[in-house]
């Protein structure tokens, strides 16, 4: 009877361990692909005050190296309603240059290389801008939809 119990236990353990969902095998590209919605922005460590329309901002990374960026503003008819900003919808291409570096090219523009990280369902971009000898650090945080 003990042998039957041990054999059934071993088989059950094997079934549970072979059916586990292991996301660690996803490539960095696979982890990035999808729709991401803005949750926070920072400049030099200080949080921006974001309104409801800012928080609708979405970036969609597609397989094949293309993306869409959608920015929203309050409607002129109803400021409680968000509409796509006339200048806020753009598309382009993306590529991963190395671990933690993402290059984004808006259609017809220069390439912008950003530091990025993905932790769970959170995507963080960090960029720097130098102006008149001062360097500002920007951090933008998105959550996967």
98 occurs within a structural domain = yes
**Interatomic CA distance for residues 126 and 112, integer angstroms:** 12
Helix locations, 1-145, DSSP H: 2-18, 28-32
The per-residue pLDDT for 2 is 36
List the domain range (segments joined by +) for residue 45: 23-144
**Residue 20 has what pLDDT?**
44
Question: b/e map of 125-142 (b: 16 or more CB within 10 Å)?
Answer: beeeeeeeeeeeeebbbb
Per-residue pLDDT of the chain (145 residues; tens, 9 = 90+): 333 333 333 333 343 344 444 445 578 899 999 999 999 999 999 999 999 999 999 999 999 999 999 999 999 999 889 999 877 788 999 999 888 999 999 877 789 999 999 999 999 999 999 999 999 999 999 999 9
Q: Note whether residue 16 is domain-resident.
A: no
Instruction: Return the CATH number at 75.
Output: 2.40.128.280
CA 107 to chain centre: 20
**Structural domains in the chain (count):** 1
First to last CA, the chain: 51
pLDDT of residue 25: 54
């Amino acid at each position: 009877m003990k042998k039957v119990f041990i054999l059934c236990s071993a088989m059950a353990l094997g079934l549970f361990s072979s059916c586990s969902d292991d996301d660690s095998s996803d490539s960095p590209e696979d982890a990035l692909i999808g729709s991401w919605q803005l949750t926070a922005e920072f400049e030099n460590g200080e949080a921006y005050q974001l309104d409801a329309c800012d928080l609708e901002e979405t970036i969609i990374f597609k397989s094949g190296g293309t993306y869409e960026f959608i920015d929203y503003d309050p409607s002129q008819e109803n400021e409680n309603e968000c509409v796509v900003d006339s200048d806020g919808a753009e598309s382009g291409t993306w590529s991963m240059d190395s671990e933690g570096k993402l290059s984004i090219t808006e259609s017809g523009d220069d390439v912008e290389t950003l530091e990025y990280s993905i932790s769970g369902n959170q995507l963080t971009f960090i960029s720097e801008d130098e102006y008149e000898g001062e360097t500002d650090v920007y951090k933008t945080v998105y959550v996967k939809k």
